[in-house]
Chains A and B, each alone.
Chain A
């Protein structure tokens, strides 16, 4: 089972790929579409003292090797992948760090929210949340 690492954002790139590549990427998306995603992903609430379902973010899974930025896969209460979330520490950005070529859970992106977060276990410093919602109802499902 390929992980999200094998996926690329693909904006503008996907159209340049051949049919075989497109089929492979579609297969990977299907693997992540329903919780739980396969290893190396771990449920954040199993690894850190955080609620299992975080209002606004849902149930998060992450590959620990990608911390702190992620991507975090955000699932709704029905286990549907609804958003891909990145967490970028402000201090690191101020010092010149860049977070490039990060993977995305699903290619369709309906809208993006970017906002400040004061910190939480796992990313215990002020940082930005970048949330890519994968369909028009995703935000509502993550904020019950």
Chain B
């Protein structure tokens, strides 16, 4: 059976244990969508926005809007395929699994700081993204990781800076250069 739409909810930032009782959790104040996109023949794939700033406890919804490909939203963390950690220490790593066209994956990000993530089958093609939760003034803030050796080092180095994301709210791929 092939589901046309799957929904996932992952709670992070130390409240993962409450995930079994989603109806009891208060709705986050904000919700943002990050689309997974690609050209018709798959020459290019990307997240849009590439970088986005959100308040703590915002619900982030990843949506595969690429009709011809599968994608994942996978945080950089040793628990996810032994990648180097690029999310706050207090955050729970997330991995959507493969999302077919139209599928969605939701995650609520509570721990303030920088979350870098990637698409598992497209990491080597540079499909990475960044979410900034809170600001450097938020208690518990943990900033971006600087890393030079990585399969997607070039794409990670090209991610918009925290300052750029906070200044604009979101940065689309064509604005990142």
Residues of A with Cβ closer than 8 Å to B? 45, 48-52, 54-57, 115-121, 124-126, 129
B101 touches A51 (CB 8 A): yes
The one of A52, A115, A124 that contacts B2, using a Cβ cutoff of 8 Å = A52
The interface size of chain B toward A, counting residues with CB under 8 Å, comes to: 22
The one of B45, B70, B124 that contacts A49, using a Cβ cutoff of 8 Å = B70
Name the distance in Å between A38's Cβ and chain B's nearest Cβ. Answer: 23
CA distance A118 to B126 in the complex (A): 9
A51 touches B124 (CB 8 A): no
Residues of B with Cβ closer than 8 Å to A? 2, 38, 40-45, 67-70, 97-98, 100-101, 120-122, 124-125, 127
Interface of A is mostly: loop
Chain B residues whose C-beta falls within 8 Å of the C-beta of A126 in the assembled complex? 124-125
20 contacts between A and B (CB under 8 A): A49-B97, A51-B67, A51-B68, A51-B69, A54-B69, A55-B68, A56-B40, A56-B68, A115-B43, A117-B43, A118-B43, A118-B45, A118-B127, A119-B45, A119-B125, A120-B42, A120-B70, A124-B121, A124-B122, A126-B125
Chain A residues whose C-beta falls within 8 Å of the C-beta of B120 in the assembled complex? 124
Known: A51-B70, A55-B40. 20 other contacts (CB 8 A): A49-B98, A52-B2, A54-B68, A55-B68, A56-B41, A115-B41, A115-B43, A117-B43, A118-B38, A118-B42, A118-B43, A119-B124, A121-B70, A124-B122, A124-B124, A125-B124, A125-B125, A126-B124, A126-B125, A129-B41
